[in-house]
Structure 1
Amino acid sequence: MCDGAVVCGSWAMALAWGWLLAALLSGTPERTAAAPVGAVTALAVAALFAAHGLGFAGLRLTGRPWARAHRLVGRTGAGRSFALTAVLMGALPLFAGPALHPAAHAADRATLTLLVPVLLAFCPLLLAAQAWTWHTFRHRVTHPSYL
């Protein structure tokens, strides 16, 4: 039941990101996108996330899950699929960025005065933790780690 909840929640989040992107691309980030445009964009973003996950699975898994991921990514291969979808996901905010007006949505000066030093202190720690996580889990998954 928990696996099903994780799957449903993941699909819901992917679709929500797509619907949000549709609102940003339409130039009205304060309102939801129109139903057909929002639905198509949501499905496209969810498919992009799924293709990225398949590429990652093809790079990290072994056995039957690896074979299934390789069959689903097709001729491009897992590495190319993962890299291409990563570039596309990185480009999505660049397409949506012009719809946002930073001056209208920025916090006031007192809030920024407090947040900037905190961000400067914690960002290196977060980057170090991410690098450590990537280094620790860099090998292929050959069996469930909880067994």
Structure 2
Amino acid sequence: MTLDVVWLGLLGLMIGGWFVLDGANLGLGAALRWTWRTPDDRRLALTALGPFLLGSEVWLVAGIGLLIGVFPALEKDLFNAYYPIVIVVIAAWMSRDAGVWLRSRRRASGWRARWDTVIVLASVALAFAWGLLLGNVVQGVPYGTRPGLGTLVSPYSLLWGVTVVAAFTWHGAVFTALRMPRDRQARAARTARRGTVPVLVSLLGVALATPLAGVPVDRWGAAAVVWSLMVGGTLAAGRWLRAERYAVTYACSAVVAAGLVVAVGIATAPRLLDGIADARTLELLAVVVLPVVPVLLAAQAWMWWTFRHRIGTRSAVFY
């Protein structure tokens, strides 16, 4: 295994980790008004993500740092080609965080209802934009050029957008069922059960659309294995949901969330590696970056262990 592949794997770890961790937060936000009818229930749902929000975003920040330092040519062309999508990602990310931070700053029902709407719309927009980005990366990064709007929002990339929204919303519902008090977990579990079929259909849709659209895939076999694991994880999650085994269900939905990134990375690895930095730069970065990765993993494990219990009406409120 070359050092180039290790760096690509680290980038996949960071972005995939964000898909698992903050993807659950986005899914919770996307279904906030649909799943929870009362302001108190919505407040409790946001309490469920409180300890994890900033820690989850660290993964995306680390991933962007890796992209800039290790893949400078890829970063340049990626941001140039998909500039409109990147702007949507940043705007939606900031809006989601603003909604979570500001919602409970006033007691007025109108104030909280408006911020609830912001959280929902921003969460959906952020998930959809990431789906568009992945779909466009699979179709090929146009080095040195900027594609037109028709390419950025092609039917294939739109299908990816819908798939990520469905996967995140479902994953977030499972996360909420895992975290909420027992007297409220049934509602979150019902949302998760309703989301299983859309996730399965969208995954199969992408699998069928990829060859039909003539999308260039460099490693069909490995990508197909990952996609099969995602479909299997979705089916297994449906079974564990019915058994009310929410921790196991969350593990299954996490496989689906991470698999979206892993599959894209495998399918496009040779093209992505065209944008990697020179060997000397990679050696210097390795001295700084590689020791930080175990620390990041340990901190995330500590956080989940510390806040592993269900929340209640007397749990600490972070936002």
- Quick check: TM above 0.5? yes
1:40 equivalent in structure 2: 159
Partners of 2:292 and 2:264 in 1: how far apart? 27
Report Cα offsets for 1:11-39 as digits up to 9, x if no partner: 2221111111211222x133554422221
Secondary structure of 1:145's aligned partner: coil
Matched, 1:146 2:317: yes
Q: Tell me which amino acid in the other structure corresponds to 1:146.
A: V
Give the percent of matched residue pairs that are identical in Structure 1 and Structure 2.
34
Secondary structure of 2:291's aligned partner: helix
Matched, 1:99 2:212: no
Q: Tell me which amino acid in the other structure corresponds to 1:58.
A: A
Matched, 1:12 2:125: yes
Structure 2 residue aligned with 1:56, among 169, 175, 180? 175
Report Cα offsets for 1:80-134 as digits up to 9, x if no partner: 5423321122222232122232441111223212210112221121122111101
Q: Tell me which amino acid in the other structure corresponds to 1:37.
A: Y
TM-score (structure 1 length as normaliser)? 0.82
Report Cα offsets for 1:40-85 as digits up to 9, x if no partner: 2101111101100000111110156422212212364144542332
Partners of 1:145 and 1:35 in 2: how far apart? 44
TM-score (structure 2 length as normaliser)? 0.41
Matched, 1:127 2:240: no
2:141 equivalent in structure 1: 29
Q: Is the 8 A contact 2:132 2:153 kept in 1?
A: no
- Unpaired stretches in structure 2, ≥5 consecutive residues: 1-98, 104-114, 194-237
Report Cα offsets for 1:126-146 as digits up to 9, x if no partner: 122111101111100112522
Q: Is the 8 A contact 1:11 1:46 kept in 2?
A: yes
Which protein, 1 or 2, shows the higher relative CO under an 8 Å CA cutoff with sep ≥ 6?
Answer: 2
Corresponding residue pairs, total: 146
Partners of 2:302 and 2:159 in 1: how far apart? 38
Partners of 2:192 and 2:121 in 1: how far apart? 22
- Unpaired stretches in structure 1, ≥5 consecutive residues: none
Secondary structure of 2:310's aligned partner: coil
